[in-house]
Structure 1
């Protein structure tokens, strides 16, 4: 799957991404707090860069990139002790930056790193 053009991604952000991303982030965090629904919450968190700007992860199309991931055990332990609360703060900081035009580049940078902050998942965007 190839990336969408800059124009399409910018149009998506202006019309949908800026308001849908905070909803997805906070829904994912609420799911992450529960033990049973945490896997769905983590999946939603990993989709946040796509929700914000339609950025697709290259690890879906380039299997070699997926090999650099941390082990599932390491990611799970990190999530339990750090990722669930740090990702909430990180994502909402990104939302605050996204409100302003000046802060938008910082917001996109923060959102693109949200999967890693949450569960050490390398998005490879």
Structure 2
């Protein structure tokens, strides 16, 4: 996959990303506090960088990219004890910073690391 142009990603952020990201973050967190819907919540969190700036996620069709991931058991235990609450705080701080010009670079950095903070999922190669 190739990244979309900086202009396209900037326009997306200005039109949709800045307001849709907090909605997706809080919906994902609400799903994460339920046992049954947590897998959907985690998938939504993994999509947050794409929602914010149309950043392309890494593909697991390439074994080289998937090699650095933690096991599902480790990721699940991390999520249960740390990821669900830390991701909520992390994501809402990022969403708050994203609406300010000064905080935007930090917000993008935080959002790009949100999948890892939530479930140790490495979003970028």
Indicate the TM-score class for this superposition, using the shorter chain for normalisation: over 0.9
* 1:88 corresponds to: 88
TM-score (norm 2): 0.96
Distance in structure 2 (CA, Å) of the matches to 1:98 and 1:45: 16
Unaligned stretches of 5+ in structure 2?
none
Distance in structure 2 (CA, Å) of the matches to 1:2 and 1:22: 25
Q: Is the contact made by 1:94 and 1:106 (CA closer than 8 Å) also made in structure 2?
A: yes
Distance in structure 1 (CA, Å) of the matches to 2:64 and 2:33: 32
> Mapping of 1:1-125 within 5 angstroms?
1-60=1-60, 62-124=62-124
1:59-83 CA distances to partner (integer Å, 9 max, x unpaired)?
Answer: 3464311111000000000000000
Note the aligned Cα RMSD (angstroms).
1.1
Task: Check 1:86–1:65 CA distance in 2 against 1; reply closer, same or farther (3 A cut).
Answer: same
Distance in structure 2 (CA, Å) of the matches to 1:63 and 1:54: 23
TM-score (norm 1): 0.96
Distance in structure 2 (CA, Å) of the matches to 1:113 and 1:45: 10
Runs of 4+ residues deviating >4 angstroms: none
